Amino acid sequence: MAVLPSLATVADLAALLGRTFTTDQEQQAQALLDQASSVVRGYIRQDITQATTTDTFTMRRVDPVLHRCSGMVTLPQRPIVDVLNVSVDSAATSDWWQDGSDILVRGWTWDAPSAAHRPPQVTVTYTHGWDPVPGDIQAIVIQAANRVLVNPSQIRSEAVGGETVTYLIPSSGEALGVLLSKTEMRVLDRYRRTAGSMQVRSH
């Protein structure tokens, strides 16, 4: 599986802080951005970055009258930019159409081999995700990385040069690190995938 890029860059983080990083600091910042990107992707259940993927799914039965097709699969990665190819049990087909995140296959007989023994396997090549990454997602990744960079010990306050510096810590007192706050989760909820077809394998 390909390694997904960070959802924000070291340059973005440096610009937020108004500073120039040393080589060691750049490596630390990149590691934090990678971690924060993974956390955000895990919460949203989306790759987010635009890419083209080939995945195989198990077709599910539908009401042929209501849906005007024999079966469908739901593509998990969103938004869907383009569907390039569809095949059923390794046989390419053009007898399908897209309805939102669903691929509906029209001419399939469920009592014919191999559907008589197991559900058909539908392989779809499609382009999905955002380019560029939405600004609110990018901002949350930068915030999460910045929390650790400026306050690695996750303390509430400390004395610096005779003055007390107070860091932004959630009212709950939890030390978030690169994890998400409840407010950040609420912002990300608009992108979150809550249901979809089970992925069988990726190519």
> Residues 109-129: pLDDT tens digits?
777 666 667 889 999 999 999
- Cβ-count burial 59-85 (b if 16+ within 10 Å, e if not): beebeeeeeebbbbbbbbbbebbebee
State the pLDDT at residue 178.
83
State the pLDDT at residue 167.
42
Q: What is the 3-state secondary structure (H, E, C) of the chain?
A: CCCCCCCCCHHHHHHHHCCCCCHHHHHHHHHHHHHHHHHHHHHHCCCCECEEEEEEEECEECCHHHHCCCEEEECCCCCEEEEEEEEECCEECCCEEEECCEEEECCCCCCCCCCCCCCCEEEEEEEECECCCCHHHHHHHHHHHHHHHHCCCCCCEEEECCEEEECCCCCCCCCCCCCCCHHHHHHHHHHCCCCCCCEEEEC
pLDDT digits (tens, 9 = 90+) for 43-79: 999 999 999 999 999 999 888 777 788 899 999 999 9
State the pLDDT at residue 26.
96
DSSP conformational letter for 147:
H
Share of the chain above pLDDT 90, in %: 62
State the pLDDT at residue 13.
95
pTM of the predicted protein model: 0.80
Task: Read off the pLDDT band of 163 (50, 70, 90).
Answer: low
